[in-house]
Amino acid sequence: MSHRIVFLDRASLIAEMRAPSFAHDWIDHDQTPPEEVIPRIRDADIVIVNKVKLPAGILAQAPSVKMIAVSATGTDIVDLAYCRAQGIVVSNIRGYAMHTVPEHAFMMMLALRRNLLGWREDVRAGLWQQTDQFCLFTRPVNDLHGSTLGLVGYGSLGHGMQRLAEAFGMRVLVAEHKNAATIREGRTPFDDVLRDADVISLHTPLTAATRHMIGTREFGLVKPSAILINTARGNLVDEAALVEALKSQRIAGAGFDVLSVEPPREGNPLLDLDLPNFILTPHVAWSSREAMQTLADQLVDNIEAFVAGTPRNVVT
């Protein structure tokens, strides 16, 4: 029996993809616009997807689909309830970004804590050249060593962040779920983490419970000297509240690799921020060449396991 595999957005992955070990017909599409999703998956057994949305209305018109292999960790693009009801296996990728995302987050943390963009701006403006001494004291510099990192999300990425933080000499607090009734051992109440942390870093999936988990109320809890890092999902943070917090100096800075809508074709308030204490990168924290190859290898592993009757990395 040959399996028909359709990859809806192959251009999202720069890596060598090995051929599965079973008989198959593999079709790649660099991108897939919404109107092309149904025609392309209608006869597929296995669908590979990164960011193309697969709601119930689309999946209902592709009854041959037995597996959705998500080439990412987040699965909010797939209607999981529908897949459970129809017996469609959904597998995701795990642990592949345990080095690349923490490194990106720390790049932002270092740049913001040490005011890298501000110093660059001042040198370009000629301020160093005009000073009466050897250095310039126009902006504060703060070490990571001795500061407190608050982690919201403690999977492989959270653990990777902790390893780097401890190497820098940081104290690490792991946040309990927001509004949790009980606090697990080793966790700190969510609001306490916001109050105590010098750096808050988000590494949690986007769900109904986590959407806009950081908003005006939460910015009211943090230290004015704190910075916020988001390499997870844009909608974890109320972007309008973030803009206000930065402009009013309610927080000292923020580094974001994600937006609420990607790509931001209709604009976004964060795109308009021209501040030395805000860094925005285009959802690339995950995308080191090493990480993408690990992802590609695991993706084929997931598909082979499903065909062998032993699904792995199943999202329930």
> 233, 266, 289, 290: which is the annotated catalytic residue?
233
Cβ proximity of 79 and 220 under 8 Å: no
The candidate with the shortest Cα–Cα distance to 7, out of 36, 40, 35, 38, is 40
Instruction: Indicate the domain borders of the chain.
Output: 3-96+290-307, 100-280
Q: Does the annotation count 304 as an active-site position?
A: no
Per-residue pLDDT of the chain (316 residues; tens, 9 = 90+): 799 999 999 999 999 999 999 999 999 999 999 999 999 999 999 999 999 999 999 999 999 999 999 999 989 999 999 999 999 999 999 999 999 999 999 999 999 999 999 999 999 999 999 999 999 999 999 999 999 999 999 999 999 999 999 999 999 999 999 999 999 999 999 999 999 999 999 999 999 999 999 999 999 999 999 999 999 999 999 999 999 999 999 999 999 999 999 999 999 999 999 999 999 999 999 999 999 999 999 999 999 999 999 999 999 8
Say how far apart CA 192 and CA 199 lie, in whole Å.
Answer: 13
233 is catalytic: yes
Q: Which residues of 5-17 are buried (b: 16+ CB within 10 A; e: fewer)?
A: bbbbbbebbebeb
3-state SS, residue 115: coil
Fold of 100-280: Rossmann fold (3.40.50)
User: What's the pTM?
Assistant: 0.89
Catalytic residue from among 103, 283, 304, 312 = 283
Check 18, 262, 289, 290 and give the catalytic one.
Answer: 262
Whether 3-96+290-307 shares its CATH topology with 100-280 is answered yes
Task: Fold for 3-96+290-307, please state it.
Answer: Rossmann fold (3.40.50)
172-208 residues labelled b (16+ CB within 10 A) or e (exposed): bbbbbbbeeeeeeeebbbbebbbebbbbbbbbbebee
262 catalytic residue (yes or no):
yes
